[in-house]
Amino acid sequence: MITATGLELRAGSRILLADTALRIQSGDRIGLVGRNGAGKTTTLKVLAGEGEPYAGEVRHGGELGYLPQDPREGDLSVTAKDRVLSARGLDTLLRDMEKAQSAMSELVDDTERDRAVRRYGRLEERFAALGGYAAESEAARICSNLGLPDRVLAQTLGTLSGGQRRRVELARILFAASEAGAGGKSDTILLLDEPTNHLDADSITWLRGFLKAHEGGLVVISHDVELLAEVVNKVWFLDATRGELDHYNMTWKRYQEARATDEKRRRRERANAEKKAAALQQQAAKLGAKATKAVAAKNMARRAEQMLANLDETRQADKVAHIKFPAPAPCGRTPLTAEGLSKSYGSLEIFTGVDLAIDRGSKVVVLGLNGAGKTTLLRLLGGMETADTGAVEAGHGLRLGYYAQEHETLDHDATVWENIRHLAPDTGAQELRNLLGSFLFSGEQLDQTAGTLSGGEKTRLALAGLVSSAANVLLLDEPTNNLDPASREQVLSALRSYTGAVVLVTHDPGAVEALEPERVILLPDGTEDHWSADYLDLVQLA
Ligand SMILES: Nc1ncnc2c1ncn2[C@@H]1O[C@H](COP(=O)(O)OP(=O)(O)OP(=O)(O)O)[C@@H](O)[C@H]1O
Ligand SMILES: [Mg+2]
C-alpha cells in the first residue's frame, strides 16, 4: 500500500498539487491522466519515493516497481538479461553457476575440480530452492513478449537504444511483480509512466492482459486510450491549474461520460461568472460617477477583476499549442536520394542495399517491426550517423529537418530559450518568442533547462525548433509520442497542411492517415510500394 497525506508538489514556483491525500492498495488499477506538463510524472516519481514532495508525506508498505518516463541511467555495463534477473537476485547466482561450470570442465587438478563440482552443486541447490528454473523461464517469457529477443538480452545496456532499455526496465519490473516461480500472489504496486511508448502492437496487447490480471496495485500514466479502457478501474485526473487531483472511482468509459458532464458544468459556471463580472463592472461604472460611492465602486471593480483573473487561469488549462511545420524553402525536384544503404551493429545486420528517392513535397511512410531499423534509416538520412556502405546525397536546395524520437536534437543542459536560439540561429528574438508562445512556452519556462521539461513539453520544443528551419524535407520519428490528445491533434493537422516532403516513422495510424502518404518503404528489405489502406494494419503492428 502507498499512502500520501498533505501532499504538495511544485514545479519551480508553480503549484502542481496542493494539500492532497491519496491511497493506493491491492486491487486498485488507477489511470493517472492530465495535460502535458500537468505533473503526472512528478506525482508518480514522488509516490515511488524517488522524488521529494514540496510538502507532505508518502508512506510505503510492501514492494513496488517503478518505470520512469525516461530511460534510467545506472550501470550500463551489465547485460540486459542480468538486469532483468537481478530483480529477484538471480543474476549473481546464475553467473556464479556459470563460472563453476566452466571451472568444472577446464580444471585438470582432481581436488580442485571436485571443489568446483561441489560448489556448483551448492549453488544449483540454492538456485532451485529459490524457484530459479521456473523464474528464469518466466523472465524469458516476459522478455520475448516485450519484444526482447535473446540476442538483445545478451547485449550490455550501454549498447541498447533508449527504447530497448525502457523495455528491459519494464521486463524487470513485471518479472519482479509476477513471482510465478514462487507460486504466490503478487501484492507489488506497479507505478508505470507511459509503458507503451516503445512497444509494438503485440507487446501492447500482451501488456494489457498482464496488467489486467495483476492483483497488486497499479498506477499507470498512458496516452493509450485502449489500455486505459481495458485495464483501469479508477481514474485520477490531475488539473495543475487548480492544483487538484480529481478521483473518479469508475472505469475509463464511465469516466469519460462523467468528465464530459463536469466540463459542461464548469463551462456553465464560467459563463455565469463572466456575466456576473460584467454586471459588476457596469454597476461600478455607474456608481463611480457619484463621488460618495467612489469607494464602493472601486471595490466592485476589484471584485470583477478578480473573478475574471480566476477565469483566465482556468482558460489557460484549455489552451492548446498551435503546432505548425515550416514553410519549406524552394528546392530541386528530388532534394534527397540514397543508394545502397547498409548498416550493421557488430555482427548484427540491420538492413542492406536500401535505395530511395524523396521528391519535393512527397510523403513517405517507413514501416517495419521493432528493431527493423526505422530510426537507424532516419538517422542515416539525417546525417546523424554514417552508413557502412552506400551514400546519402543531398539534392539542390535541400534543407533537412529532423525530429528525433528520443529528443537527441535538444541540449538537455541548456534552457528552452538557448535551445531554440541554437536550433534557429537566423531568426529574430521577437519572432522566436512568438513562435515559442504558440507552442505554449512563455515566462519562467523560457529559462527552464530542457532536461527538466516533461515528456510532452520536450516533444513540443523539438517540434518548435523545426518550424523556424525552413526545412523542405522533414524526417519525423514518432512525432506524436508523449503528446496529450489535444496537442496530438495539432501535430496531425500540421502534417496535413505541410507542403514539403516528409519521411515518417510512427506507430500511430492517425498520423499516417493525416499524412496521406503516396509511398511506403518496408524495412529491413527496403522494398518500396504505393501506399494502400491495407498497410494501415501494419502501422500498428510495426
Ligand atoms: N526543475 C524544474 N523547474 C521548473 N519546472 C519544472 C522543473 N522540473 C519539472 N518542471 C515542470 O513541471 C511540470 C510537470 O512536469 P511532469 O513531467 O510531471 O509533467 P507530466 O504531466 O508528466 O507531462 P507529460 O504528459 O508531458 O509527460 C512541467 O511543466 C515541467 O516543465
Ligand atoms: Mg510525464
42 lines ligand 1 (CB under 6 A): yes
Same fold, 1-63+187-249 and 336-541: yes
Cβ atoms of residues 192 and 166 within 8 Å: no
Q: Domain-by-domain residue ranges, the chain?
A: 1-63+187-249, 78-186, 267-318, 336-541
Give the pLDDT band of residue 308 (cuts 50, 70, 90): confident
- Alpha-carbon span 394 to 403, nearest angstrom: 18
Neighbouring residues of 10: CB distance < 8 A, sequence distance ≥ 6:
16, 54
- Which numbered ligand comes closest to the C-alpha of 457? 1
- Dihedral sign, Cα of residue 72, residue 74, residue 79, residue 85: negative
Q: Is the CB of 196 under 6 A from ligand 1?
A: no
Report the pLDDT value the prediction gives residue 349, as an integer from 0 to 100. 84
Q: Which residues pair with 247 in a beta bridge?
A: 236
- Topology (CATH) of 336-541: Rossmann fold (3.40.50)
Q: Which of helix, strand or coil describes residue 92?
A: helix
Q: Which amino acid, 475? A: L
Give the up-direction half-sphere exposure of residue 257: CA atoms within 13 A in the CB hemisphere.
5
Q: Is 40 in the pocket of ligand 1 (CB under 6 A)?
A: yes
* Averaged pLDDT, 106-127: 89
Q: Is the CB of 455 under 6 A from ligand 1?
A: yes
Q: What is the pLDDT of residue 299?
A: 84
At 457, which helix (H) or strand (E)? helix 455-467
CA distance 542 to 531: 15
Q: Smallest Cα–Cα separation from 451: which of 488, 408, 405?
A: 408
Cell of residue 409, nine digits? 536534437
Provide, rounded to the nearest whole percent, the portion of the chain with pLDDT above 90: 52
371 closest CA partner among 146, 117, 54, 77 = 146
Q: Return the best residue to mutate from 452, 483, 490 for the ligand 1 pocket (most ligand atoms within 8 A of CB).
A: 452
The CATH number of domain 1-63+187-249, selected from 3.20.20.70, 3.40.50.11030, 3.40.30.10, 3.40.50.300: 3.40.50.300
pLDDT in tens, 422-438: 988 888 899 999 999 99
> Average pLDDT in the 428-453 region?
92
Q: What value does the mean pLDDT take over residues 143-168?
A: 89
- Residue 85 near residue 171, CB atoms below 8 Å: no
Q: Whose CA is nearest to atom 11 of ligand 1?
A: 11
Give the DSSP H or E segment for 505.
Answer: strand 501-505
Residue 448 in contact with ligand 1 by CB distance below 6 A? yes
Q: Which of 42, 320, 461 maximizes ligand 1 atoms within 8 Å of its Cβ, making it the mutation to test the pocket?
A: 42
Locate 416 and state its grid cell. 528552452
The residue type found at 440 is L
Q: For residue 312, what pLDDT band results from cuts at 50, 70 and 90?
A: low
Q: How many Å lie between the centroid of ligand 2 and the Cα of residue 131?
A: 36
Scanning the structure block, which residue is given the C-alpha cell 516533444? 459
